Structure 1
Amino acid sequence: MADPSRLHFDATDLAAYLDRIGYSGPVAPDLPTLRALHAHHVAAIAFENIDPMVRRTPDLSARGLMAKLVHGGRGGYCYEQNGLYLGMLQQIGFAAHGLMGRVRWGAPADTVAPRSHMMIHVTLPDGPYLTDAGFGGMTPTGPLKFEADIVQETPHEPFRLLRDGSDWLLQAEVAGTWSDVYRFDLNPQIPIDYKASNYYLANSGDSFFTQGVIAARHVAGQRMALGNHSFTIYPTGKAPQRRTLKDAAEICDTLETEFGIRLSDRDALIARIEAKKT
């Protein structure tokens, strides 16, 4: 009987994943591998919400994640990104499991959000690390050691972890200001724990992911973000470069060229964008 506490990938899946993210270096359950996979993943596989936009619930099974994110040239949101990433870490031999947190990014200080974001806990010989390949525009681009109140550099912005009782708070420093990213505890999650939230986020009219097209990608030296008709490049340490996209076709063009997303359902997405506009 299959173990319900994890998704099951095999050596062939791992080889295809490594090819998808463009990583050909050594693979072992150690910190250099974790750092390399994290950076390559967020550069190669875009964060995007096309399935929720066209009212299709993402398939979080191992087969579904391989078909879409690895072989299909698509991206996805946190349950897909981190579900795939976690499964590959476990296949390599990392001691890793999922976590769940409350999004704080861009929210008023008194907002209490539901537990809706997935991230990953990894245990290494020198201690535990947080790794997360799926938080959209503010995705950390390197693993962070579970050590409170220290500034930790990543290939992009600095991050830090704070303690509040049994909870942890992730913060990012942007333009000299520390802002909350998400709050979470260390209670391990298994695949079924994400199922209800995945369905809600993909189908509810109140969900952020059904309101408009979003995408993000994080390559060396810059982040890229798309929100409906706004496309922005954030060069590390420099002023953002913003461009307005004139119509749904240009949005789709940008998803394909800048984010590397293969749009097999381009017409359906254009129709949905136009419907949301009216």
Structure 2
Amino acid sequence: MTDLTAYFTRIGYDGPREPTLAVLRDLLVLHTASIPFEAIDVLQDRGVDLAPEIVDAKLIDARRGGYCYEQNGLFKRVLTALGFEVEGRIARVRWNLPAGELLRPPTHMVLRVKIDGVAWLCDVGFGSCVPTAPLRWDLREPQRTGHEDFRLTDIGGDLLMEARLGEDWTPVYQVAPDVLLDQDYEINNWFSSTHPSSHFRHVLIVALTKPDARYVLAQNRLTVRRPSGEMERTMLDAEGLEHVLATTFGLPVSDDWRPLLERVAAAS
């Protein structure tokens, strides 16, 4: 069982503990603003262990971040403990997929949460374009969040999620209809954390979405994207990377991260 009190302290939540839409909205906003998306362990060949006690020790106790299987796995356990009806799903990422390129394999974990008979798409683990509000599963009109608008459309039996960036709708990912058990994600996690073609093996990606802005570190480039559309970009050296990881993202920077950060700064 996840320690709910420790989790709520981690994200700064002190509200009700009932399985309502209002509680779900609050938890989703606070989680994405408090627990960074990151896969630094993958870049350091340490792998990712999805055992609940390991994930909780990392993301809650050690105040680290994680990627989708860790983030949404933790969120699923929290919601289940609160009495929500939650299912795991798998999605094909289409974010930054060049036109005409083959679809990527399904590697992204998302959640389907049902409240009073209504299903909602929830995700706290997509990094730079994570939706900061639950999206109603059966609604096909644009849905507003604290950042971009999102919309869901049917595509070949899947559910396509798109984000409005400026005047354009950009595909984010498409969700398959099958329900996955927790153990079903082990193979996807193994691929994402160890396979040579996984981008997590080659690129430093850290993201945190707060009400005022999305903060995204891609290699040594920090992008700050505000709800208004205003954007700032800064290139960082190794010292700058350490500073941003510790301050902007609130990560406990370790001395053994330094060689990785120096490689990232030198290669960019």
- Give the TM-score normalised by the residue count of structure 2: 0.95
Query: Helix, strand or coil: the match of 1:79?
Result: helix
Counterpart-to-counterpart distance in 1, 2:200 and 2:97: 16
Counterpart-to-counterpart distance in 2, 1:182 and 1:109: 14
Counterpart-to-counterpart distance in 1, 2:44 and 2:64: 14
Structure-2 residue corresponding to 1:3: none
Unaligned runs of 5+ in 2: none
Shift in Å, 1:204: 2.4
For the pair 1:36 / 2:20, whether they are aligned, the reply is no
Q: Assess if the C-alpha contact under 8 Å between 1:54 and 1:268 holds in 2.
A: no
Query: Helix, strand or coil: the match of 2:161?
Result: strand
- 1:167 corresponds, among 144, 158, 170, to 158
For the pair 1:269 / 2:257, whether they are aligned, the reply is yes
Counterpart-to-counterpart distance in 2, 1:186 and 1:253: 42
Q: Assess if the C-alpha contact under 8 Å between 2:242 and 2:261 holds in 1.
A: no
Structure-2 residue corresponding to 1:84: 74
Structure-2 residue corresponding to 1:178: 169
Structure-1 residue corresponding to 2:220: 229
- 2:37 corresponds, among 43, 47, 55, to 47
Q: Assess if the C-alpha contact under 8 Å between 1:53 and 1:269 holds in 2.
A: no
For the pair 1:216 / 2:207, whether they are aligned, the reply is yes
Counterpart-to-counterpart distance in 2, 1:275 and 1:156: 33
Counterpart-to-counterpart distance in 2, 1:200 and 1:269: 23
Q: Which amino acid aligns with 1:228?
A: Q
Q: Assess if the C-alpha contact under 8 Å between 2:112 and 2:119 holds in 1.
A: yes
Shift in Å, 1:147: 2.1
Structure-1 residue corresponding to 2:239: 249
Q: Which amino acid aligns with 2:131?
A: P
Structure-2 residue corresponding to 1:200: 191
The aligned length equals: 265
Q: RMSD in angstroms over aligned alpha carbons? A: 1.4
Counterpart-to-counterpart distance in 2, 1:262 and 1:228: 18
Shift in Å, 1:275: 4.3
- Give the TM-score normalised by the residue count of structure 1: 0.92
Identity between Structure 1 and Structure 2 (%): 36
Counterpart-to-counterpart distance in 2, 1:261 and 1:142: 24
Residue deviations 1:227-269 (CA, integer Å, cap 9, x gap): 11101111111320111102x2321221110011112xx3322
Q: Assess if the C-alpha contact under 8 Å between 2:166 and 2:229 holds in 1.
A: no
Structure-2 residue corresponding to 1:68: 58
Q: Assess if the C-alpha contact under 8 Å between 2:241 and 2:261 holds in 1.
A: no
Shift in Å, 1:148: 4.0
Structure-2 residue corresponding to 1:155: 146
Residue deviations 1:7-60 (CA, integer Å, cap 9, x gap): xx25xx111101100000112111001000000000000001111111111121
Shift in Å, 1:197: 1.7
Query: Helix, strand or coil: the match of 1:259?
Result: coil
Structure-2 residue corresponding to 1:6: none
Structure-2 residue corresponding to 1:97: 87
Q: Assess if the C-alpha contact under 8 Å between 1:215 and 1:226 holds in 2.
A: yes
Between 1:37-46 and 1:119-128, the stretch displaced more is 119-128
Q: Assess if the C-alpha contact under 8 Å between 1:144 and 1:152 holds in 2.
A: yes
